[in-house]
Amino acid sequence: MTRLSVNINKIALIRNARGSNLPDLVQVAKDCERFGAQGITVHPRPDERHVRYRDIPLLKEVVQTEFNIEGNPTPEFLKMVLATKPDQCTLVPDAPDALTSDNGWDTIKHKTFLKEVIGSLKAAGVRVSLFINPEGEMLEGAKEVGADRIEFYTGPYAKMYSQDKQQAVLSYKEAAKITNQLGLGINAGHDLNLDNLNYFVQEVEAVLEVSIGHALVCDALYLGLNNTIAQYRRALV
């Protein structure tokens, strides 16, 4: 069974638009869990346009499922993660001005850096996942630097899904076999939605967790948060 982690960045974006505390991010995180979310994900970016660093301890206090913090491991980010000790930290190589994450790690080029960062997170008891494209070499590199899991960047899958879903999922199916052989856990995320989610988890072996934000929050505008989370959970069985 694949677990659903709800990325609440977009909720913070709405809050930040007006400078008050509406919607209340902490209450939304609690409600997502009440409605069936099996994890809460945040991705604080350097400009804090969504989740802010000061939100993190408040969320850590209330999240009872799994708390996943994503981001580029800058010194400031690492300091915050080590102080928070979430259940999982997903390392993402996104540029400070990136609109959203759009590529996985080059685990060979950044081997020394990743080894060091992952070592410090694991020493603090934090599970580490690496955002990655579905490529064998990068997966082997992820194993070598000590990651516990990888998160497949599913943007390209989502983009191709409506034209040719079999082709769209092929590289992920093959990469999942390698990942399982390497003994790494598999997460997935980016642009997953109610159309493309079920096919992905049916086709790709042993996906432990998906983290979904943008489409889920957009669906919630029409369907309500409770009903939306229920529908995403149903797509995962």
Q: Which residue is nearest to ligand PXP (CB)?
A: 189
- Please pick, among 50, 66, 190, 209, the residue that the annotation labels catalytic: 190
Minimum separation from the CB atom of position 179 to ligand PXP (A): 16
- Applying the rule CB under 6 A, the residues between 26 and 85 that interact with ligand PXP are 43, 70
Instruction: Give the nearer residue to ligand PXP in terms of CB position, either 181 or 216.
Output: 216
43 is catalytic: yes
- Please pick, among 33, 43, 151, 209, the residue that the annotation labels catalytic: 43
Q: Is residue 100 involved in binding ligand PXP (CB under 6 A)?
A: yes
**Residue owning tokens 């930040």:** 16
Instruction: Give the nearer residue to ligand PXP in terms of CB position, either 20 or 114.
Output: 114
Residues 6 or more apart in contact with residue 163 via CB below 8 angstroms: none
| Residue among 214, 223, 230, 231 that touches ligand PXP (CB under 6 A) | 214
Minimum separation from the CB atom of position 50 to ligand PXP (A): 8
Residue 94 CB coordination number (10 Å): 19
Instruction: Give the nearer residue to ligand PXP in terms of CB position, either 98 or 182.
Output: 98
Q: Is residue 212 involved in binding ligand PXP (CB under 6 A)?
A: yes
Quick check: 201 and 165 in contact, CB under 8 A? no
Q: Is residue 149 involved in binding ligand PXP (CB under 6 A)?
A: no
Torsion angle defined by CA atoms of residues 52, 95, 106 and 42, in that order, rounded to the nearest 10 degrees: 20
| Residue among 28, 51, 65, 190 that touches ligand PXP (CB under 6 A) | 190
Quick check: 189 and 210 in contact, CB under 8 A? yes
Determine the interface stretch with ligand PXP among 56-64, 75-83, 196-204, 205-213 (rule: CB under 6 A).
205-213
| Residue among 2, 65, 101, 228 that touches ligand PXP (CB under 6 A) | 101
d(CA 121, CA 61): 20
| Residue among 40, 51, 56, 92 that touches ligand PXP (CB under 6 A) | 92
Q: Which amino acid is at 78?
A: L
Dihedral (CA of 227, 89, 159, 164) sign: negative
Alpha carbon separation from 169 to 107, 159, 172 (Å, rounded): 22, 11, 5
Minimum separation from the CB atom of position 176 to ligand PXP (A): 17
d(CA 82, CA 80): 6
70 is catalytic: yes
Rg (CA), the chain: 17
Residues 6 or more apart in contact with residue 48 via CB below 8 angstroms: none
d(CA 129, CA 152): 10
Q: Which residues are catalytic?
A: 43, 70, 190
Which parts of this chain interact with ligand PXP (CB under 6 A)? Answer: 7, 9, 43, 70, 90, 92, 100-101, 131, 151, 189-192, 211-215
